[in-house]
Amino acid sequence: MTILVTGAAGFVGSHLCEQLLNTSETDVIGIDLDIEGNETKIRNIKQLLKRPKFKLYDIDLLKQDLSGLLKNVDVIYHLAGIPGVRSSFGSDFERYILNNGLVTQKLLEASRNHSITKFIYVSTSSVYGEKVGKVSEDMKTVPLSPYGVTKLTGEQLCHIYHLYFGVPVVILRYFTVYGPRQRPDMAFHRFIKQMLQDKPITVYGNGLQSRDFTYVSDCVQATAAVKDADNVVGETINIGGKERATVLDVISILEELLSKKAKINFVPKATGEPMHTWADISKAENLLNYRPSVLLREGLMNEIIDLTKLYGRKD
């Protein structure tokens, strides 16, 4: 089996490539952009480049002829895109709509002419907007940010290409993934780095916002399972975590694990972010046999270990 992974040098993408290579007889083709000189991406794929069944291509999907790229590909995992809620407002929106919308359409268009068995599109809980209680996949989508709008656009494109051309799409909605290799702009990475360097932590709002935190190994286990799962084509599936917590809860755990008190700098609440997220994962449990297992404390410790190697520790 040959699997194409877009965004392969990213946080989740690099872990997914490793999982796919570890658990099955597969060849993995990784696609990413502007890898050379990007220390974060190079670090993410360092071990992958040693794997004989892994090939990496530095390609701009907006400009590439995608038909040739999909030759002999059986499964597509489409993770590439521009992430981040706060930065999606303002002049950067064009990058979001091009990379999250147009790239997805181009890939779907190319896929309709190839005999792929699954096209797995990775979306986000940001498409839901503000909800109360557990969120199931059939709830109304009301994104609060341009980022969420562009990811929902990708979802709708998937539905259209499945309806009219039979592209075998599966949509996964991730809920706040964390762990080793997490992007530098994401909260846990920022918190741990700032605490390691004895700098103040920046918290948007009052810190009482809660998230359904999903450890990266749980996330990629569920994601990898899609390629072999039955009865998932055309479905949208939440991928949530083992444990929910508030931002202040997380900081308290970090203080214990790092044996130091955090200096917190509270700033106004960020535009476009919901107060709470909570995934109903019963569909993933039924269709993917998904059972998230990593508790928040364990996952945070693993991320601390990873970032201590990267930044060192100031004692």
Residue 297 near residue 253, CB atoms below 8 Å: yes
Selecting among 77, 147, 178, 290, the annotated active-site residue is 147
The CA distance from 270 to 263, in Å, is 19
What the block records as the tokens of 223 is 């994601």
Catalytic residue check, 147: yes
CA nearest to 17, candidates 68, 59, 51: 51
What the block records as the tokens of 209 is 């916002």
Alpha helices in 88-211 (DSSP H): 93-96, 103-111, 146-165, 187-196
Residue 315 near residue 196, CB atoms below 8 Å: no
Residues 6+ apart with CB under 8 A from 296: 213, 241, 242, 243, 245, 250, 253
Buried b (16+ CB within 10 A) or exposed e, 5-42: bbbbbbbbbbbbbbbbbeeeebbbbbbbbebeeeeebe
Alpha helices in the chain (DSSP H): 11-23, 39-45, 66-69, 93-96, 103-111, 146-165, 187-196, 216-225, 247-258, 282-288, 296-311
The DSSP symbol for 233 reads T
- Residue located via tokens 């489409």: 78
The CA distance from 125 to 188, in Å, is 18
Residues annotated as catalytic (active site), given as ranges: 147
